Structure 1
């Protein structure tokens, strides 16, 4: 199966495609310097296959390349950041305490 993650800026979300069909998305809201991830969803038939992890990693990596700080408001994105500690550095210091992330 082929997978591709695309940033759909018109809908403010990253979308993951599996064999050309959308399998899920991660919605965000941008400020001048941060990108807040507010909701992530993987369609039921694609759950449990690692697509959520692929989607979130790609979305966070693209956001960092674009110079955004990360605000993991969505539980799926927050859990990914907690498990993959290297992403904590992309969360602004002022937001970490409120999100339960290490300073």
Structure 2
């Protein structure tokens, strides 16, 4: 199984492909050096294989490498950040 996470600026999302098929997305909005993650989803056919975590890791690692401040508005992304270290990530937690 070959997985890849890529950023699609024009679609405002990171895309996870598995063997070339779109398996999941993380949607985002860019705001003055900040990337607001708004929604994450893995297709039903791909659930239960840890692909959501692979997608989150790829998206967050890329955003951190770009120097973007991460704003986890999506509950899945927030949960991932609470459980995993993302080297170089600067996180601005939304006010509850």
Q: Does 1:63 align with 2:55?
A: no
CA distance in 1, matches of 2:16, 2:86: 23
Q: 1:85 to 1:4 in 2, by over 3 A?
A: closer
Runs of 4+ more than 2 Å apart? none
Match of 2:82 in 1: 82
**Unaligned ranges ≥5, structure 2:** none
Larger radius of gyration: 1
* Greater strand proportion: 2
- Per the TM alignment, residue 85 of structure 1 is displaced from its structure 2 partner at its CA by 4.5
When normalised by structure 2's length, the TM-score is: 0.91
CA distance in 2, matches of 1:75, 1:44: 18
Q: Which has the higher contact order (CA 8 A, sep 6+)?
A: 2
Q: Does 1:46 align with 2:46?
A: yes
**Unaligned ranges ≥5, structure 1:** none
When normalised by structure 1's length, the TM-score is: 0.85
Match of 1:34 in 2: 34
CA distance in 1, matches of 2:47, 2:86: 25
Deviates more, 1:78-87 or 1:25-34: 78-87
* Greater helix proportion: 1
Residue 60 of structure 2 contacts residue 86 of structure 2 at CA under 8 Å; is this kept in 1?
no
RMSD value, Cα = 1.8
